[in-house]
A and B are shown apart, each in its own frame.
Chain A
Amino acid sequence: MAKDSHDSVTKDEPGNPKNVGKSTTERGEDVVERDGKEPGRYEVEEQGAGRPVGKSTPRDQTGIDPK
């Protein structure tokens, strides 16, 4: 529970809620940070307003490494 986390930032001031803090749910950015990019995906040149572009190989379509 978030309220037990060391990241709890409860402030003992009026107008502040109790037992809040860092989310305990694992997020996509956490997974990428820990495990790296998923196999079969790669980046190509940005387009538009600096929008990232990514493509994928057949490896991305399966959980089994075809090699």
Chain B
Amino acid sequence: MTIATPQTKTDLVEMYWDPITRIVGSLGIYTKIDFGQRKVAECHSTSSIFRGYSIFMKGKDPRDAHFITSRICGICGDNHATCSCYAQNMAYGVRPPALGEWIVNLGEAAEYMFDHNIFQENLVGVDFCEKMVRETNPGVWERATQTAAPHAGDHGYRTIGDIMRSLNPFEGEFYREALQMSRMTREMFCLMEGRHVHPSTLYPGGVGTVATIQLFTDYLSRLMRYVEFMKRVVPMHDDLFDFFYEAIPGYEMVGNRRILLGCWGSFQDPAVCNFEYKDMTDWGRAMYVTPGIVVDGKLVTTDLVKINLGIRILLGSSYYDDWKGKEIFVKNDPLGNPVDERHPWNQHTLPKPQKRDFGEKYSWVMSPRWYDGKDYLALDTGGGPLARLWATALAGIVEIGYIKATGGSVQINLPKTATKPPVSFEWKIPQWSNTIERNRARTYFQAYAAACALHFMDQALKEVRAGHTKTWEKFDVPKDGIGCGFTEAVRGVLSHHMVIRDGKIANYHPYPPTPWNANPRDVYGTPGPYEDAVQGCPIFEENPPATFKGIDIMRTVRSFDPCLPCGVHMYLGDGKVLEQRHSPILAPPMPPHD
């Protein structure tokens, strides 16, 4: 919903979108737009729902951590389960058999293929479809209908207008095809981990999946259809996004912000990864998506230990009391490095609900930052793929045939499929960290995930053919211990930090990507990435204030792939659950349940 309140003597108009639609969770974007200058003058990002996991994980059996934290999200729950298992593997000192690791990797690859596909084609795509472009930029739509698509031979759409028409919700040809692909990729996930999105065969120590040739063949047959699909999707999106740069000069400044990207790496290599903290630098760099922090286009580090120790959870505009002076759970990491009071291992969550005030406190999201020794950097994830591809490209480590990181690009080599010959794509480091490049990277990363899955399939089948059937290793839960897991949720960085005392969880903090992207101004006044990307954003929409849709702002926010369901669960004690239902047909609310 958009509310416009013109302010006197200026062209400044207050507008807000709360909740943002076509995302999950409760996100509000509050802006002041200068229609005279055609740009956003000010932006605040707010989330009105409390996330309580760090509180109700306390005291629980550590072995339950992945089952519980999976429920943080209804779309990337398996990313949480995986990350939690990584943290538990470290805490318990257990190493899954290689075959188990390949199965986890295949599951996670399917998750990326599924989630990016449904978000890109069925949710983001609507922002670029015929109906939306006609309503917001009729001049651009006219031009699109007369602009030939450069890669029409690859994807089958003659003009850019045809691409936009195919993205129309519920009726567009490509929109409907993408829905089918989402179903198929979920089947792939279920083959590996039993159930999507809350895996039933994933545990610390490996998986309970029965690994047979038939299982992998079922996965591979679907994967090859997806690979073929990618051969059309990547050039189609390149055509669409390149057209926006061409049709709207200056569009590169929409959603543009300083290049401050974080990636925690994804897909473990069982030949290198032993889940021991002391070796985390080495096995982190062996991941098939390289962890890294990119500042102003330069790769600052690929060291997961350094990344871990630099994480700081700041307050400032969040509805919490400070935990300064409270108990420190972890003074030093296993290598002897000091761990900061504001690190997730030492965080205390002290909620303090209060009225929203944009001059003071206005969000339940805290402000994660990465401390480089001088500054508290407000890293974003670029919606996930932008940071992943950027860090992987610059690091130049990954080389598996299907993928090659060159130092300035990432080459993705897809084999022959049913009707198409082998195809190679190259994602090149872009000039900007902006709306269009976040969306473009998503498409390329779908192909990247499919290419990685081909490699994992080769490795898993080698194990099976060698007669290696073991997929899980037993373990003991220590009386006291710590663990941390790092991976990439679909939309970006994901870490789980756990402290075990007396065999129970003493402290547990999952940090998903959305807190990194959606956070409010921190204690130093630094705005969060959404705020930063929207503030100063030029307005190209042709509608006047009275019928303004804010499409450039919406495209920017959605380019980060916002997802805030991690806030919807609240524990009241005594087995009572507070439940509130929102009905789209205005039915009376259901009473609370006991």
Contact = CB atoms under 8 A, between A and B. Distances in A.
B591 interface: no
B95 A52 contact: yes
Interface string B516-555: 0000000000000000000000000000000000000000
A48 interface: yes
Contacts of A53: 97-98, 468, 470
Interface in B451-509: 467-470, 472-476, 502-504
A29 B60 contact: no
B81 to A, nearest CB: 15
B270 A28 contact: no
Interface string B46-60: 000000000110111
B55 A17 contact: yes
Interface in B313-354: 348-350
Given A21-B61, A22-B61, A23-B63, A55 B468 contact: yes
Interface core residue of A21, A53, A60 (most chain B CB under 10 Å): A53
Interface core residue of A43, A54, A56, A60 (most chain B CB under 10 Å): A54
A10 B203 CA distance: 25
Nearest to A14: B350
B379 interface: no
Contacts of A63: none
Interface of B is mostly: loop
Contacts of A43: 470
A6 interface: no
Contacts of A62: none
A60 B502 contact: no
Contacts of A16: 55, 58-59
A47 B205 CA distance: 15
A56 B205 CA distance: 18
Nearest to A60: B469
Contact of A51 (B63, B270, B467): B270
Contacts of A41: 469-470
Contacts of A32: 474
A64 interface: no
A39 B277 CA distance: 34
B189 interface: no
Contact of A18 (B274, B349, B467, B574): B574
Interface in A25-43: 27-29, 32-33, 41, 43
Nearest to B268: A49
B55 A54 contact: no
Given A15-B350, A17-B58, A28-B208, A52 B573 contact: no
Nearest to A42: B470
Measured as residues with beta carbon below 8 angstroms from the partner, the interface class of chain B is 35 or more
A52 B61 contact: no
Given A48-B271, A53-B468, A54-B470, A15 B348 contact: yes
A64 B575 CA distance: 44
B283 to A, nearest CB: 7
B96 A51 contact: yes
Contact of B469 (A29, A49, A56): A56
B394 interface: no
B64 interface: yes
Contact of A28 (B55, B58, B472): B472
Interface string B262-297: 000000001111100000000100000000000000
B271 A17 contact: no
A16 B476 CA distance: 26
A60 B468 CA distance: 13
B474 A55 contact: no
Interface core residue of A3, A21, A22 (most chain B CB under 10 Å): A22
A47 B98 contact: yes
B479 to A, nearest CB: 13
B101 interface: yes
A10 B58 CA distance: 9
B62 to A, nearest CB: 9
B578 to A, nearest CB: 14
Interface core residue of A11, A20, A23, A47 (most chain B CB under 10 Å): A20
Contact of A23 (B61, B101, B348, B470): B61
A9 B504 contact: yes
Given A49-B95, A49-B270, A55-B467, A17 B473 contact: no
Nearest to B463: A53
Interface of A: 3, 9-11, 15-23, 27-29, 32-33, 41, 43, 47-56, 60
6 interchain residue pairs of minimum CB distance: A54-B470, A23-B61, A49-B274, A20-B59, A48-B271, A18-B573
Interface of B: 55-56, 58-61, 63-64, 95-98, 101, 203, 205, 208, 270-274, 283, 348-350, 467-470, 472-476, 502-504, 571, 573-575
6 contacts: A9-B504, A16-B55, A29-B205, A48-B272, A52-B473, A53-B97
Given A22-B61, A50-B95, A53-B97, 13 more contacts: A3-B575, A10-B59, A15-B348, A17-B55, A20-B58, A23-B61, A28-B208, A32-B474, A43-B470, A48-B272, A49-B95, A51-B101, A60-B469
